[in-house]
Structure 1
Amino acid sequence: MSGHGHGHGHGHGHGCGCQAEHEPAERGVEFGLYRRIDLDKLQCLNESLDGHGRLVFKPWEQRRDREKFVESDADEELLFNIPFTGSVKLKGVIISGEDDDSHPSEMRLYKNMPHMSFDDTGREPEQVFRLNRDTTAELEYPTKITRFSNVEHLSIHLSRNFGADSTRVYYIGLRGEYSEAHRHEVTICTYEASANPADHRVETMTPQTHFIS
């Protein structure tokens, strides 16, 4: 019920596009982590239409596109499970929504918890943010980089909005650095090659049958 207290319009969302026009090109490159998301495995829980959660991860130049969005279903919560194709150092997040009470007001970030569900949201998150309304994808929320230096899976829990029955999101931008995944299978050791022959003397007397009780 307290959501009405946030109704003051800041007015900066529509009238100051001039700054965005002169942004350094590098910022778009830094927000390119969407290309490192395994979209086929991305999950969005409580989305009203299946598959719409992945639509909000867009190229930087499409961050103000209003045609693609995700809206929550049963209540105001949304939970994104975002697997990366390698290891990420997450430095910042942008969340853009509608200029009304459906805009998320709180974001909770969790690291390396694949297949997270709403039952898991009682756990202590790595970081919590109070969000402001942002319709033009300008406000960045910097992370505590020491906590997000080896992220292979990121969960974003939008736990509440400004008072509406559902939450709507148009864009989620992720800024950071990416490194390739390590190929663990090439490090398998053939340690049996130098085994002591004495270790194998009992093999001739030990049946190789395994009984399953």
Structure 2
Amino acid sequence: MSHGHSHGGGCSCSAERSDAPERGVEYGLYQKIDLEKLQCLNENREGSGRTVFRAWEERGDRTRFVESDDDEELLFNIPFTGNVKLKGIIVIGEDSDAHPSEMRLFKNIPHMSFDDTEREPDQVFNLNIDTTGELEYQTKISRFTNVSYLSIHISKNFGAENTKIFYIGLRGEWTEAHRHEVTICNYEAAANPADHKISQIAPQSHFIS
């Protein structure tokens, strides 16, 4: 079945495509994922969910993919090595009903389960068939600053029993996480001279020799 690309219904994707080298740099956030701790729930082959997060230049590799197991749903729990400002996402599937049709994003909720997906997501996208990485789904950046943990819930596809994904690209900015607690403790521990005035000196000026 062929699925056309329509911008109706509040589509938040960009159809502009570029194979310029800087495109690969923009989609370099996969390097800032802690892949050892990444989880993909309902994957039919253990560890396959990690393989879809890779270099932009490798997005067309059809030998690496993740496929859902019991039903059409997939849930990616993605820990970053710092703080991310997430700007856009690309999802590549195949031209079939196994392509995802809905993507729900949650931020900073470690180790989500499918039960947790019943809560309100931070953003929802209706997806179109994309086999080459032409479509970018742009996030509401104000909601996706300081993201240390991203969960991607693929909740639906176009009607197949299972969902198949070849590539997920993440575009944004990464900054190193800073620990502010130590600085705060140092300030609180510092003595304030104003709190330790020596009041005994003043009466001495009243003595008459």
Report percent identity of matched pairs: 67
What is the Cα-based RMSD across aligned positions, in Å?
Answer: 2.1
CA distance in 2, matches of 1:98, 1:44: 19
> For residues 77 and 147 of structure 1, what CA distance do their matches in structure 2 show?
24
Q: Give the residue type in structure 1 aligned to 2:65.
A: F
The aligned amino acid for 2:56 is W
Give the TM-score of the pair, scaled to structure 1. 0.80
- State the match for 1:47 in structure 2: 43
Match of 1:8 in 2: 2
Give the stretch that moved more between structures: 157-166 or 23-32: 23-32
Matches within 5 A, 1:1-213: 7-10=1-4, 23-184=19-180, 186-187=182-183, 189-190=185-186, 191=188, 194=191
Bigger radius of gyration, 1 or 2?
2
Moved over 4 A (4+): 190-196
What's the CA shift for 1:23? 3.0
Structure 1 residue 27: deviation in Å?
1.6
**Counterpart of 2:75 in 1: which secondary structure?**
strand
1-structure distance, mates of 2:154, 2:166: 13
* SS in structure 2 at match of 1:189: helix
Q: What is the CA distance between 1:24 and its match in structure 2? A: 2.8
In 2, distance between residues paired with 1:70 and 1:9? 21
- C-alpha distance in 1, partners of 2:92/2:122? 21
SS of 2:30 mapped into structure 1: helix
Count of residue pairs brought into register by the alignment: 183
Shift of 1:149: 1.2
Greater helix percent: which structure? 1
Structure 2 residue matching 1:89: 3-state secondary structure:
strand
TM-fit CA distance, 1:111? 0.7
5+ residue gaps, structure 1: 1-6, 12-18, 197-213
* Counterparts of 1:26 and 1:192, CA distance in 2: 48
Q: Partners in 1 of 2:164 and 2:34 — Cα distance?
A: 22
- Partners of 1:163 and 1:51 in 2: how far apart? 25
Q: What is the Cα deviation at residue 192 of structure 1?
A: 5.3
